[in-house]
Chains A and B, each alone.
Chain A
Amino acid sequence: MARSLSIRTYHYLFVTPALLLSVAIVLLPALLTFVVAFTDWDGASTPVFIGLKNFSAVFSDPVFWGALFDNVQWTVIFLTIPMAIAMIAASILMNRKKSSAVFQIIFLLPYVLSPVANAVIWQNIVFDPVSGVLGYVARNWFPISNPLTDTRTALYAVAGVDIWHFWGYLTVVFFAAMRQTPEDQLEAAFIEGANGWQVFRNVTLPNILPTVALMFVLVTIFSFLTFDYIYLITQGGPARSTEMLSTFAYAFAFTSFQVGKAATVALVMSFFGLVASIVYVRLSRAELET
Protein backbone atom coordinates (compact mmCIF):
# COMPACT_ATOMS: atom_id res chain seq x y z
CA MET A 1 0.00 0.00 0.00
CA ALA A 2 1.59 3.24 -1.12
CA ARG A 3 1.65 5.95 1.50
CA SER A 4 1.66 8.87 -0.88
CA LEU A 5 0.51 11.36 1.78
CA SER A 6 2.14 11.78 5.17
CA ILE A 7 0.14 10.83 8.25
CA ARG A 8 0.04 14.47 9.29
CA THR A 9 -1.43 15.51 5.93
CA TYR A 10 -4.25 13.01 6.38
CA HIS A 11 -5.04 14.41 9.81
CA TYR A 12 -5.07 17.96 8.46
CA LEU A 13 -7.57 16.78 5.83
CA PHE A 14 -9.71 15.16 8.57
CA VAL A 15 -10.12 18.38 10.51
CA THR A 16 -10.65 20.55 7.41
CA PRO A 17 -14.40 19.97 6.71
CA ALA A 18 -15.40 20.79 10.30
CA LEU A 19 -13.14 23.82 10.41
CA LEU A 20 -14.30 25.13 7.02
CA LEU A 21 -17.96 24.74 7.94
CA SER A 22 -17.55 26.48 11.28
CA VAL A 23 -15.44 29.31 9.86
CA ALA A 24 -17.84 29.94 6.97
CA ILE A 25 -21.06 29.81 9.01
CA VAL A 26 -19.98 31.07 12.42
CA LEU A 27 -16.60 32.84 12.50
CA LEU A 28 -16.71 34.98 9.35
CA PRO A 29 -20.32 36.18 9.84
CA ALA A 30 -19.47 36.87 13.52
CA LEU A 31 -16.55 39.05 12.42
CA LEU A 32 -18.89 40.73 9.91
CA THR A 33 -21.23 41.56 12.80
CA PHE A 34 -18.41 43.59 14.36
CA VAL A 35 -18.03 45.53 11.10
CA VAL A 36 -21.77 45.95 10.45
CA ALA A 37 -22.29 47.37 13.96
CA PHE A 38 -20.42 50.49 12.80
CA THR A 39 -22.49 50.94 9.64
CA ASP A 40 -25.92 51.96 8.48
CA TRP A 41 -27.12 48.93 6.49
CA ASP A 42 -30.55 47.74 5.33
CA GLY A 43 -29.25 44.30 4.42
CA ALA A 44 -29.32 44.86 0.66
CA SER A 45 -27.62 48.12 -0.37
CA THR A 46 -23.99 49.07 0.32
CA PRO A 47 -23.33 49.59 4.05
CA VAL A 48 -22.34 53.14 5.04
CA PHE A 49 -19.76 53.61 7.80
CA ILE A 50 -21.24 55.76 10.57
CA GLY A 51 -18.81 55.23 13.45
CA LEU A 52 -20.41 54.88 16.86
CA LYS A 53 -23.83 56.26 15.91
CA ASN A 54 -25.57 52.87 16.30
CA PHE A 55 -24.14 52.52 19.77
CA SER A 56 -25.22 56.00 20.90
CA ALA A 57 -28.69 55.44 19.38
CA VAL A 58 -29.11 52.05 21.07
CA PHE A 59 -27.75 53.22 24.44
CA SER A 60 -30.08 56.23 24.49
CA ASP A 61 -33.12 54.05 23.74
CA PRO A 62 -35.09 53.24 26.91
CA VAL A 63 -36.33 50.02 25.27
CA PHE A 64 -32.74 48.77 25.21
CA TRP A 65 -32.34 49.34 28.95
CA GLY A 66 -35.72 47.73 29.60
CA ALA A 67 -34.65 44.70 27.58
CA LEU A 68 -31.33 44.50 29.39
CA PHE A 69 -33.14 44.66 32.72
CA ASP A 70 -35.48 41.86 31.57
CA ASN A 71 -32.46 39.72 30.65
CA VAL A 72 -30.96 40.36 34.10
CA GLN A 73 -34.29 39.40 35.74
CA TRP A 74 -34.43 36.29 33.56
CA THR A 75 -30.88 35.35 34.59
CA VAL A 76 -31.65 35.77 38.29
CA ILE A 77 -34.86 33.70 37.94
CA PHE A 78 -33.11 30.88 36.07
CA LEU A 79 -30.09 30.80 38.37
CA THR A 80 -32.36 30.25 41.37
CA ILE A 81 -35.74 28.63 40.72
CA PRO A 82 -34.96 25.77 38.29
CA MET A 83 -31.62 25.21 40.04
CA ALA A 84 -33.34 24.75 43.40
CA ILE A 85 -36.19 22.61 42.00
CA ALA A 86 -33.71 20.38 40.17
CA MET A 87 -31.30 20.10 43.10
CA ILE A 88 -34.09 18.94 45.42
CA ALA A 89 -35.47 16.52 42.82
CA ALA A 90 -32.04 15.03 42.12
CA SER A 91 -31.36 14.61 45.86
CA ILE A 92 -34.66 12.79 46.29
CA LEU A 93 -33.88 10.50 43.35
CA MET A 94 -30.64 9.51 45.13
CA ASN A 95 -32.81 7.66 47.65
CA ARG A 96 -34.96 6.06 44.92
CA LYS A 97 -32.46 4.05 42.98
CA LYS A 98 -35.05 1.72 41.47
CA SER A 99 -37.63 4.24 40.28
CA SER A 100 -35.19 7.03 39.41
CA ALA A 101 -34.92 5.93 35.77
CA VAL A 102 -38.69 6.32 35.28
CA PHE A 103 -38.78 9.72 37.01
CA GLN A 104 -35.91 10.99 34.87
CA ILE A 105 -37.76 10.07 31.68
CA ILE A 106 -40.98 11.78 32.81
CA PHE A 107 -39.13 14.94 33.90
CA LEU A 108 -37.38 15.11 30.53
CA LEU A 109 -40.56 14.93 28.43
CA PRO A 110 -41.07 18.72 28.20
CA TYR A 111 -37.36 19.17 27.51
CA VAL A 112 -37.34 16.97 24.38
CA LEU A 113 -40.36 18.70 22.82
CA SER A 114 -39.97 21.68 20.52
CA PRO A 115 -40.38 25.21 21.91
CA VAL A 116 -43.06 25.76 19.24
CA ALA A 117 -45.18 22.84 20.49
CA ASN A 118 -44.67 23.75 24.16
CA ALA A 119 -45.40 27.45 23.70
CA VAL A 120 -48.52 26.92 21.58
CA ILE A 121 -49.86 24.24 23.94
CA TRP A 122 -49.48 26.53 26.98
CA GLN A 123 -50.97 29.52 25.17
CA ASN A 124 -54.06 27.69 23.98
CA ILE A 125 -54.94 25.13 26.61
CA VAL A 126 -53.56 26.78 29.76
CA PHE A 127 -53.46 30.60 29.47
CA ASP A 128 -56.18 31.34 26.92
CA PRO A 129 -59.20 33.07 28.55
CA VAL A 130 -61.62 31.26 26.21
CA SER A 131 -60.19 27.80 25.60
CA GLY A 132 -57.60 27.48 28.39
CA VAL A 133 -57.79 26.00 31.87
CA LEU A 134 -57.13 29.42 33.45
CA GLY A 135 -60.16 30.81 31.61
CA TYR A 136 -62.27 27.91 32.84
CA VAL A 137 -61.10 28.45 36.41
CA ALA A 138 -61.82 32.17 36.15
CA ARG A 139 -65.35 31.55 34.87
CA ASN A 140 -66.30 28.86 37.37
CA TRP A 141 -64.22 29.05 40.54
CA PHE A 142 -62.35 32.25 41.22
CA PRO A 143 -61.38 35.24 39.07
CA ILE A 144 -57.84 35.06 37.70
CA SER A 145 -56.80 37.04 34.69
CA ASN A 146 -54.53 35.90 31.88
CA PRO A 147 -51.01 36.64 33.21
CA LEU A 148 -49.73 37.06 29.64
CA THR A 149 -51.78 40.21 29.05
CA ASP A 150 -50.64 41.97 32.23
CA THR A 151 -47.37 43.91 31.94
CA ARG A 152 -46.54 43.10 35.57
CA THR A 153 -46.83 39.33 35.23
CA ALA A 154 -46.15 38.46 31.57
CA LEU A 155 -42.42 37.96 32.05
CA TYR A 156 -42.94 35.56 34.93
CA ALA A 157 -45.60 33.62 33.05
CA VAL A 158 -43.26 33.08 30.09
CA ALA A 159 -40.41 32.22 32.47
CA GLY A 160 -42.75 29.67 34.07
CA VAL A 161 -43.27 27.91 30.73
CA ASP A 162 -39.54 27.95 29.98
CA ILE A 163 -38.73 26.62 33.48
CA TRP A 164 -41.35 23.89 33.00
CA HIS A 165 -39.50 22.87 29.85
CA PHE A 166 -35.97 23.24 31.26
CA TRP A 167 -35.81 22.04 34.87
CA GLY A 168 -35.84 18.33 33.96
CA TYR A 169 -32.55 18.76 32.09
CA LEU A 170 -30.89 20.21 35.20
CA THR A 171 -32.32 17.41 37.33
CA VAL A 172 -30.86 14.71 35.09
CA VAL A 173 -27.47 16.44 34.99
CA PHE A 174 -27.35 16.97 38.78
CA PHE A 175 -28.51 13.42 39.40
CA ALA A 176 -25.80 12.02 37.10
CA ALA A 177 -23.21 14.09 38.98
CA MET A 178 -24.53 13.02 42.41
CA ARG A 179 -24.27 9.38 41.43
CA GLN A 180 -20.51 9.86 41.05
CA THR A 181 -20.23 10.65 44.77
CA PRO A 182 -17.89 8.03 46.28
CA GLU A 183 -20.00 5.44 48.12
CA ASP A 184 -17.58 5.23 51.08
CA GLN A 185 -17.95 8.97 51.79
CA LEU A 186 -21.73 8.62 51.92
CA GLU A 187 -21.50 5.58 54.17
CA ALA A 188 -19.06 7.28 56.51
CA ALA A 189 -21.41 10.25 56.83
CA PHE A 190 -24.36 8.00 57.65
CA ILE A 191 -22.37 5.98 60.17
CA GLU A 192 -21.44 9.24 61.91
CA GLY A 193 -25.15 9.93 62.16
CA ALA A 194 -25.36 12.83 59.73
CA ASN A 195 -28.91 13.75 58.67
CA GLY A 196 -30.01 14.18 55.07
CA TRP A 197 -29.21 17.89 54.96
CA GLN A 198 -25.77 17.41 56.51
CA VAL A 199 -24.93 14.67 54.02
CA PHE A 200 -25.99 16.95 51.16
CA ARG A 201 -24.11 19.96 52.52
CA ASN A 202 -20.87 18.20 53.43
CA VAL A 203 -20.60 15.28 51.04
CA THR A 204 -22.85 15.51 47.95
CA LEU A 205 -22.60 19.25 47.25
CA PRO A 206 -18.77 19.46 47.35
CA ASN A 207 -18.63 16.48 45.00
CA ILE A 208 -20.99 17.95 42.40
CA LEU A 209 -19.68 21.51 42.69
CA PRO A 210 -17.83 21.45 39.31
CA THR A 211 -21.08 20.40 37.59
CA VAL A 212 -23.10 23.05 39.43
CA ALA A 213 -20.54 25.70 38.47
CA LEU A 214 -20.74 24.62 34.82
CA MET A 215 -24.56 24.79 34.88
CA PHE A 216 -24.41 28.27 36.45
CA VAL A 217 -22.22 29.45 33.60
CA LEU A 218 -24.35 27.83 30.88
CA VAL A 219 -27.60 29.16 32.36
CA THR A 220 -26.09 32.65 32.54
CA ILE A 221 -25.04 32.48 28.89
CA PHE A 222 -28.41 31.19 27.72
CA SER A 223 -30.31 33.72 29.84
CA PHE A 224 -28.67 36.61 27.99
CA LEU A 225 -29.51 34.98 24.66
CA THR A 226 -33.00 33.69 25.48
CA PHE A 227 -35.31 34.04 22.49
CA ASP A 228 -37.62 31.13 21.66
CA TYR A 229 -40.28 31.22 24.40
CA ILE A 230 -40.44 35.02 24.55
CA TYR A 231 -40.76 35.39 20.80
CA LEU A 232 -43.32 32.58 20.55
CA ILE A 233 -45.54 33.55 23.48
CA THR A 234 -45.46 37.36 23.80
CA GLN A 235 -43.23 38.75 21.01
CA GLY A 236 -41.80 41.03 23.69
CA GLY A 237 -45.20 42.44 24.66
CA PRO A 238 -47.51 43.52 26.17
CA ALA A 239 -46.16 47.08 25.95
CA ARG A 240 -42.60 45.67 25.61
CA SER A 241 -42.77 44.31 29.16
CA THR A 242 -41.09 41.07 28.07
CA GLU A 243 -38.70 42.57 25.53
CA MET A 244 -35.30 40.84 25.61
CA LEU A 245 -32.10 41.90 23.89
CA SER A 246 -32.61 39.00 21.47
CA THR A 247 -36.13 40.02 20.41
CA PHE A 248 -35.05 43.69 20.31
CA ALA A 249 -32.17 42.83 17.93
CA TYR A 250 -34.35 40.51 15.85
CA ALA A 251 -36.93 43.24 15.27
CA PHE A 252 -34.20 45.66 14.15
CA ALA A 253 -32.94 43.13 11.59
CA PHE A 254 -36.16 41.69 10.22
CA THR A 255 -38.91 44.23 10.93
CA SER A 256 -37.27 47.62 10.37
CA PHE A 257 -34.20 46.34 8.44
CA GLN A 258 -31.76 48.36 10.54
CA VAL A 259 -29.13 45.64 10.40
CA GLY A 260 -26.43 47.91 11.83
CA LYS A 261 -28.43 48.42 15.02
CA ALA A 262 -29.29 44.71 15.17
CA ALA A 263 -25.56 43.96 15.01
CA THR A 264 -24.89 46.49 17.77
CA VAL A 265 -27.41 44.88 20.11
CA ALA A 266 -26.04 41.44 19.16
CA LEU A 267 -22.56 42.59 20.21
CA VAL A 268 -23.87 43.76 23.59
CA MET A 269 -25.68 40.43 24.17
CA SER A 270 -22.64 38.51 23.10
CA PHE A 271 -20.46 40.51 25.46
CA PHE A 272 -22.42 39.17 28.46
CA GLY A 273 -22.35 35.69 26.95
CA LEU A 274 -18.63 36.09 26.30
CA VAL A 275 -17.80 36.87 29.91
CA ALA A 276 -19.61 33.70 30.93
CA SER A 277 -17.97 31.82 28.02
CA ILE A 278 -14.49 32.67 29.28
CA VAL A 279 -15.42 31.11 32.59
CA TYR A 280 -16.85 28.12 30.69
CA VAL A 281 -13.65 27.59 28.70
CA ARG A 282 -11.59 27.84 31.88
CA LEU A 283 -13.82 25.27 33.59
CA SER A 284 -13.56 23.00 30.53
CA ARG A 285 -9.81 23.35 30.20
CA ALA A 286 -9.49 19.89 31.68
CA GLU A 287 -10.68 18.74 28.22
CA LEU A 288 -7.26 19.65 26.89
CA GLU A 289 -5.37 17.71 29.50
CA THR A 290 -7.27 14.43 29.20
Chain B
Amino acid sequence: MTDIPAKSPPSAARAASTAYLVIAVLVSVVPLLLVALNTFKPHAAIVANPLSLPTGIDFTNFARAWRGGHFSTGIVNSLLLSGSTVIVTLTCAALAAFALARRQIRGWQAITIYFLCATTVPIQLFLFPLYFVFAQLGLIGNFFATALILSAINLPISIFLLRAYVLGIPREIDDAAFMDGANPWQTFRHVILPLMQPGLITVAIIVFLNSWNEFLITTTFQKGRDNLTMTLGYLSMNGTYATDQGAMMAGAFILVAPIIVFFLVMQRFFIAGMTAGAVKG
Protein backbone atom coordinates (compact mmCIF):
# COMPACT_ATOMS: atom_id res chain seq x y z
CA MET B 1 0.00 0.00 0.00
CA THR B 2 1.73 3.13 -1.19
CA ASP B 3 0.45 6.58 -0.43
CA ILE B 4 -0.99 8.47 -3.35
CA PRO B 5 1.62 11.06 -4.28
CA ALA B 6 -0.53 13.13 -6.64
CA LYS B 7 -2.41 15.17 -4.09
CA SER B 8 -3.19 14.94 -0.43
CA PRO B 9 -6.59 16.11 0.83
CA PRO B 10 -6.88 19.86 1.53
CA SER B 11 -6.25 20.87 5.12
CA ALA B 12 -9.91 21.64 5.95
CA ALA B 13 -10.97 18.15 4.90
CA ARG B 14 -8.02 16.73 6.78
CA ALA B 15 -9.07 18.57 9.95
CA ALA B 16 -12.68 17.43 9.58
CA SER B 17 -11.63 13.82 9.17
CA THR B 18 -9.33 14.06 12.18
CA ALA B 19 -12.22 15.44 14.23
CA TYR B 20 -14.38 12.54 13.05
CA LEU B 21 -11.78 10.01 14.17
CA VAL B 22 -11.30 11.72 17.54
CA ILE B 23 -15.04 11.67 18.23
CA ALA B 24 -15.23 8.03 17.14
CA VAL B 25 -12.39 7.11 19.49
CA LEU B 26 -14.01 9.00 22.38
CA VAL B 27 -17.41 7.37 21.82
CA SER B 28 -15.76 3.95 21.68
CA VAL B 29 -13.71 4.25 24.85
CA VAL B 30 -15.58 6.66 27.15
CA PRO B 31 -18.01 4.07 28.59
CA LEU B 32 -15.03 1.79 29.24
CA LEU B 33 -13.02 4.62 30.79
CA LEU B 34 -15.99 5.36 33.05
CA VAL B 35 -15.73 1.78 34.31
CA ALA B 36 -12.00 2.16 34.97
CA LEU B 37 -12.59 5.52 36.66
CA ASN B 38 -15.33 4.32 38.99
CA THR B 39 -13.94 0.87 39.80
CA PHE B 40 -11.91 2.26 42.69
CA LYS B 41 -14.57 4.63 44.06
CA PRO B 42 -17.12 3.93 46.82
CA HIS B 43 -20.82 4.08 45.91
CA ALA B 44 -21.34 7.55 47.45
CA ALA B 45 -18.54 9.05 45.36
CA ILE B 46 -19.96 7.55 42.16
CA VAL B 47 -23.44 8.91 42.88
CA ALA B 48 -21.98 12.32 43.77
CA ASN B 49 -20.10 12.54 40.48
CA PRO B 50 -19.48 9.62 38.10
CA LEU B 51 -17.00 11.80 36.16
CA SER B 52 -14.71 12.65 39.07
CA LEU B 53 -11.30 11.10 39.55
CA PRO B 54 -10.96 8.64 42.43
CA THR B 55 -9.50 10.24 45.56
CA GLY B 56 -7.90 6.99 46.64
CA ILE B 57 -7.47 3.47 45.36
CA ASP B 58 -10.02 1.25 47.07
CA PHE B 59 -9.72 -2.45 46.24
CA THR B 60 -12.59 -3.62 48.46
CA ASN B 61 -15.00 -3.15 45.53
CA PHE B 62 -13.30 -6.11 43.86
CA ALA B 63 -13.86 -8.42 46.83
CA ARG B 64 -17.60 -7.63 46.95
CA ALA B 65 -17.90 -7.92 43.16
CA TRP B 66 -16.09 -11.26 43.15
CA ARG B 67 -18.52 -12.66 45.72
CA GLY B 68 -21.64 -10.95 44.35
CA GLY B 69 -20.93 -12.00 40.76
CA HIS B 70 -20.17 -15.61 41.80
CA PHE B 71 -16.98 -15.26 39.78
CA SER B 72 -15.25 -18.24 41.44
CA THR B 73 -17.96 -20.50 39.98
CA GLY B 74 -18.29 -18.44 36.82
CA ILE B 75 -14.67 -18.53 35.75
CA VAL B 76 -14.55 -22.34 36.00
CA ASN B 77 -17.82 -22.77 34.09
CA SER B 78 -16.86 -20.21 31.45
CA LEU B 79 -13.50 -21.88 30.85
CA LEU B 80 -15.09 -25.36 30.69
CA LEU B 81 -17.85 -24.15 28.37
CA SER B 82 -15.68 -22.10 26.02
CA GLY B 83 -12.83 -24.62 26.08
CA SER B 84 -15.11 -27.54 25.17
CA THR B 85 -16.77 -25.47 22.46
CA VAL B 86 -13.39 -24.66 20.89
CA ILE B 87 -12.24 -28.31 20.97
CA VAL B 88 -15.48 -29.74 19.55
CA THR B 89 -15.81 -27.02 16.89
CA LEU B 90 -12.18 -27.25 15.74
CA THR B 91 -12.24 -31.05 15.53
CA CYS B 92 -15.47 -31.25 13.55
CA ALA B 93 -14.77 -28.21 11.38
CA ALA B 94 -11.18 -29.15 10.42
CA LEU B 95 -12.20 -32.66 9.33
CA ALA B 96 -15.24 -31.41 7.42
CA ALA B 97 -13.26 -28.57 5.82
CA PHE B 98 -10.72 -31.08 4.48
CA ALA B 99 -13.42 -33.37 3.08
CA LEU B 100 -15.42 -30.51 1.52
CA ALA B 101 -12.33 -28.87 -0.02
CA ARG B 102 -11.08 -32.11 -1.59
CA ARG B 103 -14.47 -33.08 -3.06
CA GLN B 104 -13.95 -36.83 -2.90
CA ILE B 105 -17.47 -37.49 -1.68
CA ARG B 106 -20.73 -37.53 -3.57
CA GLY B 107 -23.02 -34.75 -2.44
CA TRP B 108 -20.29 -32.32 -1.42
CA GLN B 109 -22.25 -29.53 -3.12
CA ALA B 110 -25.38 -30.35 -1.13
CA ILE B 111 -23.43 -30.48 2.14
CA THR B 112 -21.69 -27.19 1.35
CA ILE B 113 -25.02 -25.49 0.61
CA TYR B 114 -26.45 -26.97 3.82
CA PHE B 115 -23.67 -25.40 5.89
CA LEU B 116 -24.00 -22.14 3.96
CA CYS B 117 -27.68 -22.01 4.96
CA ALA B 118 -26.76 -22.98 8.53
CA THR B 119 -24.45 -19.91 8.73
CA THR B 120 -27.43 -17.59 9.00
CA VAL B 121 -30.04 -19.89 10.54
CA PRO B 122 -31.88 -18.09 13.36
CA ILE B 123 -31.17 -19.54 16.81
CA GLN B 124 -34.86 -19.12 17.63
CA LEU B 125 -35.78 -21.48 14.80
CA PHE B 126 -34.38 -24.45 16.76
CA LEU B 127 -34.13 -23.07 20.32
CA PHE B 128 -37.54 -23.93 21.77
CA PRO B 129 -37.86 -27.65 20.87
CA LEU B 130 -34.16 -28.13 21.65
CA TYR B 131 -34.61 -26.69 25.15
CA PHE B 132 -37.54 -28.90 26.05
CA VAL B 133 -35.86 -32.01 24.60
CA PHE B 134 -32.71 -31.21 26.63
CA ALA B 135 -34.91 -30.65 29.68
CA GLN B 136 -36.47 -34.09 29.24
CA LEU B 137 -32.98 -35.58 28.99
CA GLY B 138 -31.83 -33.73 32.13
CA LEU B 139 -29.15 -31.79 30.21
CA ILE B 140 -30.03 -28.27 31.42
CA GLY B 141 -27.01 -26.88 33.25
CA ASN B 142 -24.68 -29.50 31.74
CA PHE B 143 -21.79 -27.43 30.36
CA PHE B 144 -20.82 -30.03 27.77
CA ALA B 145 -24.36 -30.24 26.38
CA THR B 146 -24.41 -26.43 26.12
CA ALA B 147 -20.97 -26.55 24.48
CA LEU B 148 -22.38 -28.88 21.81
CA ILE B 149 -25.06 -26.27 20.98
CA LEU B 150 -22.50 -23.46 20.78
CA SER B 151 -20.31 -25.71 18.62
CA ALA B 152 -23.16 -26.42 16.22
CA ILE B 153 -23.76 -22.66 15.92
CA ASN B 154 -20.07 -21.88 15.33
CA LEU B 155 -19.52 -24.83 13.00
CA PRO B 156 -20.57 -23.40 9.60
CA ILE B 157 -18.43 -20.25 9.74
CA SER B 158 -15.50 -22.30 11.07
CA ILE B 159 -15.82 -24.81 8.24
CA PHE B 160 -15.77 -22.06 5.62
CA LEU B 161 -12.77 -20.30 7.17
CA LEU B 162 -10.79 -23.56 7.38
CA ARG B 163 -11.94 -24.74 3.96
CA ALA B 164 -10.31 -21.65 2.47
CA TYR B 165 -7.02 -22.70 4.10
CA VAL B 166 -7.27 -26.26 2.73
CA LEU B 167 -8.04 -24.89 -0.74
CA GLY B 168 -4.76 -23.00 -0.47
CA ILE B 169 -2.83 -26.27 0.02
CA PRO B 170 -1.98 -27.80 -3.38
CA ARG B 171 -3.60 -31.17 -4.00
CA GLU B 172 -0.20 -32.46 -5.17
CA ILE B 173 0.79 -32.58 -1.50
CA ASP B 174 -2.06 -35.04 -0.83
CA ASP B 175 -0.96 -37.07 -3.84
CA ALA B 176 2.64 -37.19 -2.64
CA ALA B 177 1.50 -38.43 0.78
CA PHE B 178 -0.67 -41.02 -0.97
CA MET B 179 2.35 -42.22 -3.00
CA ASP B 180 4.26 -42.61 0.26
CA GLY B 181 1.54 -44.97 1.45
CA ALA B 182 -0.38 -42.63 3.74
CA ASN B 183 -4.12 -43.16 4.06
CA PRO B 184 -6.36 -40.05 4.07
CA TRP B 185 -6.44 -39.92 7.88
CA GLN B 186 -2.63 -39.92 8.05
CA THR B 187 -2.51 -37.30 5.29
CA PHE B 188 -4.93 -35.12 7.24
CA ARG B 189 -3.20 -35.62 10.59
CA HIS B 190 0.43 -35.26 9.52
CA VAL B 191 0.31 -33.11 6.37
CA ILE B 192 -2.85 -31.00 6.15
CA LEU B 193 -3.35 -30.19 9.83
CA PRO B 194 0.13 -28.65 10.37
CA LEU B 195 -0.30 -26.56 7.21
CA MET B 196 -3.70 -25.31 8.46
CA GLN B 197 -2.25 -24.05 11.73
CA PRO B 198 -2.78 -20.28 11.20
CA GLY B 199 -6.40 -21.00 10.28
CA LEU B 200 -6.87 -23.20 13.33
CA ILE B 201 -5.55 -20.44 15.61
CA THR B 202 -7.84 -17.84 14.00
CA VAL B 203 -10.90 -20.07 14.34
CA ALA B 204 -9.99 -21.05 17.91
CA ILE B 205 -9.74 -17.38 18.95
CA ILE B 206 -13.00 -16.36 17.29
CA VAL B 207 -14.94 -19.37 18.61
CA PHE B 208 -13.51 -18.88 22.11
CA LEU B 209 -14.54 -15.23 22.21
CA ASN B 210 -17.96 -16.00 20.69
CA SER B 211 -18.75 -18.63 23.27
CA TRP B 212 -17.29 -16.61 26.16
CA ASN B 213 -19.57 -13.68 25.22
CA GLU B 214 -22.62 -15.65 24.04
CA PHE B 215 -25.85 -14.75 25.80
CA LEU B 216 -29.06 -16.26 24.38
CA ILE B 217 -28.05 -19.96 24.49
CA THR B 218 -26.01 -19.60 27.67
CA THR B 219 -28.74 -17.86 29.68
CA THR B 220 -31.32 -20.39 28.47
CA PHE B 221 -29.34 -23.59 29.06
CA GLN B 222 -26.98 -22.74 31.96
CA LYS B 223 -29.76 -22.27 34.51
CA GLY B 224 -29.02 -22.72 38.21
CA ARG B 225 -26.64 -21.03 40.66
CA ASP B 226 -23.92 -23.68 40.18
CA ASN B 227 -24.00 -23.41 36.39
CA LEU B 228 -23.57 -19.64 35.97
CA THR B 229 -20.86 -18.44 33.60
CA MET B 230 -18.89 -15.27 34.34
CA THR B 231 -21.25 -13.12 32.28
CA LEU B 232 -24.38 -14.68 33.82
CA GLY B 233 -22.95 -14.30 37.33
CA TYR B 234 -22.27 -10.63 36.70
CA LEU B 235 -25.75 -10.20 35.23
CA SER B 236 -27.23 -11.60 38.46
CA MET B 237 -25.72 -8.59 40.28
CA ASN B 238 -27.56 -6.10 38.05
CA GLY B 239 -30.36 -4.50 40.05
CA THR B 240 -29.57 -6.25 43.34
CA TYR B 241 -26.35 -4.22 43.59
CA ALA B 242 -27.92 -0.95 42.42
CA THR B 243 -26.90 0.67 45.70
CA ASP B 244 -23.32 -0.58 45.43
CA GLN B 245 -22.14 0.83 42.12
CA GLY B 246 -18.52 0.43 43.22
CA ALA B 247 -19.02 -3.34 43.15
CA MET B 248 -20.93 -3.10 39.82
CA MET B 249 -18.03 -1.22 38.22
CA ALA B 250 -15.43 -3.56 39.71
CA GLY B 251 -17.44 -6.51 38.38
CA ALA B 252 -17.49 -4.94 34.92
CA PHE B 253 -13.74 -4.38 35.22
CA ILE B 254 -13.17 -8.05 36.11
CA LEU B 255 -15.28 -9.08 33.13
CA VAL B 256 -13.91 -6.62 30.58
CA ALA B 257 -10.19 -6.22 31.34
CA PRO B 258 -9.06 -9.81 30.57
CA ILE B 259 -11.03 -9.82 27.29
CA ILE B 260 -9.44 -6.53 26.21
CA VAL B 261 -5.96 -7.88 27.00
CA PHE B 262 -6.77 -11.13 25.15
CA PHE B 263 -8.04 -9.15 22.15
CA LEU B 264 -5.02 -6.82 22.08
CA VAL B 265 -2.64 -9.80 22.07
CA MET B 266 -4.61 -11.73 19.45
CA GLN B 267 -6.02 -8.87 17.36
CA ARG B 268 -4.10 -9.80 14.21
CA PHE B 269 -5.74 -13.24 14.01
CA PHE B 270 -9.08 -11.83 15.07
CA ILE B 271 -9.25 -9.17 12.36
CA ALA B 272 -8.04 -11.67 9.74
CA GLY B 273 -10.81 -14.10 10.62
CA MET B 274 -13.48 -11.40 10.82
CA THR B 275 -12.80 -9.98 7.40
CA ALA B 276 -12.01 -13.26 5.61
CA GLY B 277 -15.64 -14.26 5.19
CA ALA B 278 -16.98 -10.81 4.50
CA VAL B 279 -14.59 -9.41 1.91
CA LYS B 280 -15.01 -10.83 -1.54
CA GLY B 281 -11.90 -11.02 -3.73
- Chain A residues near B (Cβ < 8 Å): 1, 3, 5, 7-8, 10-12, 14-15, 17-19, 21-22, 24-27, 29-30, 32-33, 36, 43-44, 85, 88-89, 92, 95-97, 103-110, 112-118, 120-126, 128, 130-133, 136, 164, 168-169, 172-173, 176-177, 179-180, 183, 186-187, 190-191, 196, 210-211, 214-215, 218, 221, 224-225, 227-228, 231-232, 246, 249-250, 253-254, 259, 262-263, 266-267, 269-270, 273, 276-277, 280-281, 284, 286-288, 290
Within 8 A of A (CB), among B129-160: 129-133, 135-136, 148-149, 151-153, 155-156, 159-160
Evaluate whether A18 and B155 lie within 8 angstroms (CB atoms) in the complex, with A97-B3, A106-B25 already known. yes
Q: Find chain B residues with CB under 8 A from A211 CB.
A: 278-280
Q: Find chain B residues with CB under 8 A from A286 CB.
A: 280-281
Q: How far is the CA of A187 from the CA of B2 in the complex (A)?
A: 10
Q: How far is the CA of A183 from the CA of B120 in the complex (A)?
A: 34
CB <8 Å contact, A172 and B274: yes
CB <8 Å contact, A109 and B29: yes
Within the complex, the shortest CB–CB distance from A278 to chain B, in Å, comes to: 9
Within the complex, the shortest CB–CB distance from B82 to chain A, in Å, comes to: 11
Complex: chain B residue closest to A225, CB-CB: B122
Q: How far is the CA of A25 from the CA of B280 in the complex (A)?
A: 30
Residue contacts A-B, CB under 8 angstroms, 22 given? A1-B183, A5-B183, A14-B188, A18-B92, A25-B153, A26-B118, A30-B121, A43-B132, A97-B3, A105-B263, A106-B28, A107-B25, A112-B270, A116-B231, A116-B232, A120-B248, A125-B46, A177-B278, A196-B13, A277-B120, A280-B119, A287-B116
CB <8 Å contact, A253 and B279: no
Q: How far is the CA of A254 from the CA of B217 in the complex (A)?
A: 13
Taking chain A's interface residues, is the majority helix, strand, or loop, or is none over half, making it mixed? helix
Within the complex, the shortest CB–CB distance from B219 to chain A, in Å, comes to: 8
Q: Find chain A residues with CB under 8 A from B57 CB.
A: none
User: Which of B183, B255, B263 lies in contact with A117, CB distance below 8 A?
Assistant: B255
CB <8 Å contact, A95 and B9: yes
Evaluate whether A117 and B234 lie within 8 angstroms (CB atoms) in the complex, with A22-B155, A179-B1, A191-B6 already known. yes
CB <8 Å contact, A25 and B152: yes
